[in-house]
Amino acid sequence: MANKQLAFGAQNVWQIFNSFAMMYPALFGVDDLHHSRSTHRQESQTGLLKLTMTRFPLAALVLLFIGAPALAQGTAYSFDNFDTRNGVRVYVEPPKLRVPSGRSRRPSKLEASKKTTASQNAEQLITLDDPASTLKPTVLVYDSLAASATNAGSPLRGYTTGSAQIDGYLVDSGARNEIDPLLLYSIMHQESSFKSQAISPKGARGLMQLMPGTAVRYGVTNIFDPRQNIEGGARYIRFLLDRFDGDVNLTLAGYNAGEGAVEKYGWRIPPYAETQEYVRRISRRYSLLRDPNAALYATRVSPAQLAKLQGKQPVPLTIYERTILTVRLPDGRLQLTSQ
C-alpha cells in the first residue's frame, strides 16, 4: 500500500514538474538552452550539463514545496461536506429486518367452528344464570350512611330543627321566597337555637328573632307563631338579597345590623364586632350544612346528651365561637350544635 502511494505521489510530482517547466522555462534553464544552441552551436555537451545543473537545485526546491501536498495525499477516498450540493450529507439508517417471533398460520375451518361453538355455549351459560347474582357487587351499608343517602335529596339534607312541623315551614317559606332552606336553617339556629319563644335582650322574638317593627313591616300578626315568624324572616331575607344583588354576606350583615348600616359603610359589612362575628357564624353553618362529609362523620348522641345540648344557651356574639359541628340524633336525623 505504501509503494502504491509513493508511485502515485511521484507521478503527480512529474506532472506538476512538466506543467511548471512549460509555464516558466527560464527558471529551469530551458530558454537558456535554446539560446545557447542558436548562438553557440559549437559549445560542448559538458557546458550544457553545467548550465542545467546550476539551475536544477532551485527548481528541485520549488518542486518539493509544490508537490508536498500531493505526496501527502493517499489513494483512499474520504467524504467531506463539499461533496454534496447543500454541503451536508444526512445519514439515513437502513431499515432493520424484522425477525418473526414465531410462525403464524390461519386457523382452519374446523378450529374456527370449535371456537364459535365454545363462545356460544359460554353465552348461554351466562344468560341462563341470574345476572343479578353474578354481576351485582356486594356492598356493605351502615344504617347511618343509608339514612344520609335517603335524606340527601331532601331540601334540608337530613337536618332537622327537632320538629317536623317547623321543618316543613322552613321548606315552604324557602320555596315561596326562592331562598335555600339551609340558609334559613342556619339563621334560625344562630338566632334562637330552634326555640319558638326565644326573646333577645334587644327585643327580637321568635324563631327568626324578628324585631316588632320588622314583623309589622312584613305582615306578621302573631310574632310567636312559628309559621308567621318564619315567613316574615324569609320575606325580609328575600328583600335583602334583592337589595344587595344576591350577596349573602351583605344580606346577613343587613339582617343583623339593618340594611341602613350596610349602605352607610359603602355596601360593606359594618365594622361592628357583633355583626362581623354574626356573618362569620352563619357562613360557617351554611357551609357545613352543604358539606356531604359532615353527615358521614357526624357523632351519634344519646337522648341524655341531646337534652343537654338543647338546654344550652346560644353563645353571645361578643364571644368568638370556636366550633360548630353536626351530630346524629337517636332517630338518625342530623342537627347542628355549637361548642
At residue 326, φ and ψ (nearest 5 deg) are -105, 135
Angle, helices 273-289/181-192, rounded to nearest 10 degrees: 130
Contact present, 32 and 53 (Cβ < 8 Å): no
Report the distance separating Cα 146 and Cα 292, nearest Å.
13
- What's the angle, vertex CA 288, arms to CA 282 and CA 293, rounded to 5? 180
Report the distance separating Cα 335 and Cα 125, nearest Å.
51
C-alpha cell recorded at residue 180: 335555600
Question: What number of other Cβ atoms are within 10 A of residue 194's Cβ?
Answer: 20
- Selecting among 43, 111, 178, 191, the annotated active-site residue is 191
321 belongs to the catalytic site: no
State how beta strands 334-338 and 324-328 pair. antiparallel
C-alpha cell recorded at residue 113: 367452528
Residue/partner pairs of 327-333 with CB below 8 Å, 24 or more apart: 327/298, 327/299, 327/300, 327/301, 328/144, 328/298, 328/299, 328/300, 328/301, 329/160, 329/301, 330/300, 330/301, 330/302, 330/303, 330/306, 332/143, 332/144, 332/147, 333/147, 333/151, 333/158, 333/159, 333/160
In the block, cell 537545485 appears at 57
C-alpha dihedral sign at 111, 112, 117, 120? positive
Report the distance separating Cα 281 and Cα 288, nearest Å.
11
Question: What number of other Cβ atoms are within 10 A of residue 227's Cβ?
Answer: 16
Angle, helices 248-257/226-243, rounded to nearest 10 degrees: 120
At residue 14, φ and ψ (nearest 5 deg) are -65, -40
The residues assigned a catalytic role are: 191
